[in-house]
Structure 1
Amino acid sequence: MASLRDLGLSEYEARAYRALLNTGPTTAKELSRASDVPMGRIYDVLNSIEQYNLVRSQTASRPKKYVAVEPATALDRLLEDKRRELEEKADQYQSIVDELSEELDAAEPVEEQFWTAAVGQEETTDLLLERLTAADRHIIMVASTQSPQFDVSEVGEEIVEHLEEALERGVEIDVLLTREMVESFSEEVGRRYRERLSGDPDFKVRTSENVTGTFNLIDDVECVIQVPNPLGSGETFAMIDLKDPEFATNVYDEFKPTWDGAEPLSF
């Protein structure tokens, strides 16, 4: 059950405010009796809820009298206080993340092969987003079949946001697609890429009929390969992330001639 304590009031503060709603204008002594807040605490409690702007006082009267602010106004003020606290907390956490991002440097990439895999739509999306975030220099996206990067769902929106962030970091992004795949895009996909990505000189899209497979090449050392669902549902079945500089170099050497011969495209 919801309580005023959920919005930051103490037990005594909540009791005092509820009692004021019932008593109308009253003195601290009378409020102490009505709310069961000890007389030795009542002034501290009233001062506290005054700071929350939940009560108004009549200082000209002797003894001083207090009256509750209307519940709708009081709740709005408590909610605003909570929102402000959350914004301040979010700023604090962002500062911590910014500081730790500079402090926590990843180890130098090892030359030996390392691979991992994710199975299922949610897991494969998480893996892809993680690797896009890790890119420092270059992202190559090759797609011959439907890919999460090019759908209108929440997944596609998240990937667009990660690509925008990569461009802001100075990462170059090259996208190679089949013409057939481009023609299958909805108007919304085209609009999203046109308005949010295509204006950046580091974002380039080309088409070629010689595209096979769907994968991403990250910083020329890592290949993220999409495995389609064998049942043909249109969803990604799995994602394999292979970190192997030699393999990545071989993939890039196969990609480069096709890229050079591909036709530039504007979404």
Structure 2
Amino acid sequence: MTDLGELGLSSYEEKVYRTLLVTGAATATNVSDASGVPKGRIYDVLNSLEARQLIRTQATDPTRYVAEQPDTVVDRLLAERTVELQQELARYREVANSVRSNLLPTVPADGSVWLGALGSEEMQTALQEHMRTATDSVHATVGPPYESAPWETLKQEVDAFFDGAPLDISVALLVSEQVVETVPETLFEVAEEHAAEVRINVLPEIPVSFDVIDQTVTTIDIPHPQMAADRIGVVAVNDSDIVAEFERQFQELWVEAVPLLE
């Protein structure tokens, strides 16, 4: 494909345009003869080029056609392609959103159970999408099974958590002492790079891991019955009374905890 073809001209359109650059003003018959474009197609091609403002006509009898300046033509072709690509990008985004909705479980009015092992690909995706819903704040407790999991596994969910978190939200993390001993110190530096405000408090022990987003939805980890370093999934709950209770529990634990940096 030629460069003009890449910018959106058909082979006939390119032949006609290049011919007019050489001949100057010419009739349709002359352009057909000089370009090799069949007479049965020449008017369609000329009309298409004129409609795209790549050539213009002269009010003569018979009508003569004149090529627009190359710089002008290239700019107009580029503008056309830009619009086409923007439309294609919008279509791909719609497809991507549809794929996301099909891959992730739909949370009904009161809640849902998302099955997935700690660090699994499906739970990383679910966690990212969950975090993207935040507009103001995320309050999270980090205890089991995170404190028993190897860092290589835990890192998958930590990355998903902060990759999904919007940059302008406030994040409060309540972590157990065992988690602090498990994760590298750089984790908490990374946390501060991914949110407008990050506060981390520590408690000796945290019985259950959960989060509360914008005080409107909470997810609670379901411990694995046989493996302390894993879970079988999470429960997502939208019921306002339940969410309010978990937020209250978080605030009570937060008051008892001490800041990480003290």
TM-score of the pair, normalised by structure 1? 0.57
1:45 is matched by which residue type in structure 2? S
Alignment-derived partner of residue 265 in structure 1? 260
Q: Partner of 1:205: helix, strand, or coil?
A: strand
Paired residues, number: 220
Q: What's the CA shift for 1:176?
A: 0.8
Distance 1:115 1:40, change over 3 A: closer
Do the aligned residues in 2 keep the contact of 1:229 with 1:235 (CA within 8 Å)? Answer: yes
Do the aligned residues in 1 keep the contact of 2:4 with 2:14 (CA within 8 Å)? Answer: no
Alignment-derived partner of residue 225 in structure 1? 220
Distance 1:31 1:135, change over 3 A: same
Q: Structure 1 residue 35 and structure 2 residue 37: aligned?
A: yes
Alignment-derived partner of residue 175 in structure 1? 173
Q: What's the CA shift for 1:116?
A: 0.6
- For structure 1, the residue ranges without an aligned partner over 5 or more in a row are 57-62, 95-109
Q: What's the CA shift for 1:81?
A: 3.8
* RMSD across aligned positions (CA): 4.8
Do the aligned residues in 2 keep the contact of 1:17 with 1:68 (CA within 8 Å)? Answer: no
Q: Partner of 1:35: helix, strand, or coil?
A: coil
Alignment-derived partner of residue 185 in structure 1? 184
Q: Structure 1 residue 158 and structure 2 residue 163: aligned?
A: yes
Distance 1:41 1:256, change over 3 A: closer
* Aligned pair partner of 1:195 in 189, 193, 196: 193
Distance 1:260 1:15, change over 3 A: same
Q: What's the CA shift for 1:241?
A: 0.5
1:232-262 residue CA offsets vs partner (Å, 9 max, x unmatched) = 6977642211233443344344433321121
Distance 1:31 1:207, change over 3 A: farther
How far apart, CA to CA, are the structure 2 residues paired with 1:147 and 1:239?
18
- For structure 2, the residue ranges without an aligned partner over 5 or more in a row are 57-63, 94-108, 147-153
Distance 1:190 1:30, change over 3 A: farther
Alignment-derived partner of residue 60 in structure 1? none
1:17 is matched by which residue type in structure 2? E
